Amino acid sequence: MNPPIPTKILGIETSCDDTAVSLVEASGGLNKPSFKILAQAVSSQTEIHCPWGGVVPSLAKREHAKNIVPLLAQVLSQAKVIENGKNKLGKKTIEQIQELLTRENDLAEVLITFLEEHKVPSIDAIAVTAGPGLEPALWVGINLAQALSLAWEKPLIPANHMEGHLISPLLTNPKKVPFPAIGLLVSGGHTELILIKKWGQYKILGHTRDDAAGEAFDKVARILGLPYPGGPAVSQLALLFDENNPYNFKLPRPMLRTDNYDFSFSGLKTAVLYTAKEIAPLDKAKKIALAWEFEQATAEVLTTKAFKAVKNFKAKTLIVGGGVMANQILREKLKAKNENLSTPIEILWPIKDHATDNASMIAGAGYLKLAKTRKPNKNIRAKGQWAIDTSF
Ligand code: KG4
Ligand code: ZN
């Protein structure tokens, strides 16, 4: 049941604080999905949310609505699949688009102008993140995708954001993945271990019981007086730790030895807070030592649990993804643990730009869904808590 020919899929991602559009040519079906990125663009909202120390959903929604059509125009023209030219929309189509985008301020007007000034692009389908994520933000992408699908008469596919993260290593490294595989997805909103029997067949083995690992990085950054997003800031500081640092703080490794695949990072963050209070005032050397120990603790727990799952499910591959996977220490710990196995397995890493949110991974997840179900979907709803194992 593989789509027989290469399929050009437009991906749209607005689940959190990055607005992203991409055009991907996919082929190979579920058996050996392969992707070629024709053009992609991301507009980050980091500076907008930075003063609040985290993502503000109403601001995210507003920024997505402002940025999405310019990004769409940029990607389609870079991929050379769209031409300028008159494309008069019918009155009914215009009314339907206005109704779909009624809550997105000026978006309907901007989109209708764009549609009427360009011919229908040569693409095959539109995939949009339907969840998980912030619902107000998700709706912007969904409503835009529904409007495009209507105007261009292209099939619409709801894509699962976490499945997108899972396929992200394949965007630059097309290969047949040996299964079963374990997926370790670690982002600002999620920390999950997933058993992948094959593409399209997932079981969540465990997840965080409180904060996601990325969220913990962001909160620890705040404690240390560092900017949002905290991951890059904390790890840059931790890099400065060396043997001349006089401090050697000890933080807990929550749930390291528990008999399950769950995580908990809230206690670790609180331990950082208490330590910071105890040793106040914080100078640079103390901050460096605390950042280093926090990063070590987080990476150790993630690595240990991931390889526990690899061992117990006899996995042949470990697939990692999500923003926290940009972390060098975590990458090094995973590599070192793997090299110590009697038979190391293959670890599939996304490039750093694909570890964080992007729309190429959404086009890829949409392709898998199309290859598996062959059913486009007209009425997509935002599903803030959409678990990957219910995505088919
Ligand atoms: O996947 P992502 O871009 O967005 C979500 O879906 O959440 O992940 C963002 C998270 C943020 O919490 C950020 O602090 C974290 O990834 N992050 C990092 C690093 N770069 C980004 N965490 C640790 N080390 C990094 N180098
Ligand atoms: Zn993400």
Q: Is the model's pLDDT at 262 over the cut of 90?
A: yes
Q: Residue 297: which pLDDT band, with cuts at 50, 70 and 90?
A: very high
Tell me the pLDDT band of 373, cut-offs 50, 70 and 90.
confident
Residue 3 has pLDDT above 70, yes or no: no
Ligand 1 atom closest to 218 (CA): 14
Residue nearest to atom 7 of ligand 1 (CA): 188
Q: Whose CA is nearest to atom 26 of ligand 1?
A: 327
How much is the pLDDT for 8? 97
* Nearest residue (CA) to ligand 1, atom 8: 323
pLDDT digits (tens, 9 = 90+) for 140-151: 999 999 999 999
Our mutation pick for probing the ligand 1 site, out of 211, 217, 218, 269, counting the most ligand atoms within 8 A of Cβ, is 217
List 125's β-bridge partners, or say none: 9
- The C-alpha atoms of residue 290 and residue 245 are separated, in whole angstroms, by 11
CA–CA gap between residue 69 and residue 79 (Å, rounded): 15
**Ligand 1 closest atom vs CA 165:** 1
**pTM summary value:** 0.93
Would the CB of 189 count as within 6 Å of ligand 1?
Answer: yes
Atom of ligand 1 nearest to the CA of 133: 6
pLDDT of amino acid 59 = 87
Contacts of 167 (CB under 8 A, 6+ apart): 33, 35, 199, 361, 364, 365, 368
Find the DSSP H helices in the chain: 46-49, 57-78, 91-100, 107-116, 135-152, 161-167, 213-223, 230-238, 266-278, 284-312, 328-339, 352-355, 360-373
* Short-list 143, 124, 204, 152, CA closest to 366: 124
pLDDT of residue 106: 87
- What is the percent of the chain where pLDDT is above 90? 85
Question: Cα of 96 to ligand 2 centre, how many Å?
Answer: 31
Q: Dump pLDDT digits (tens) for 41-67.
A: 999 888 888 888 778 888 888 989 899
Q: 74 C-alpha vs ligand 1 centroid, how far in Å?
A: 26
In order of start, what are the domains of the chain with their CATH numbers?
7-165+355-373 (3.30.420.40), 179-349 (3.30.420.40)
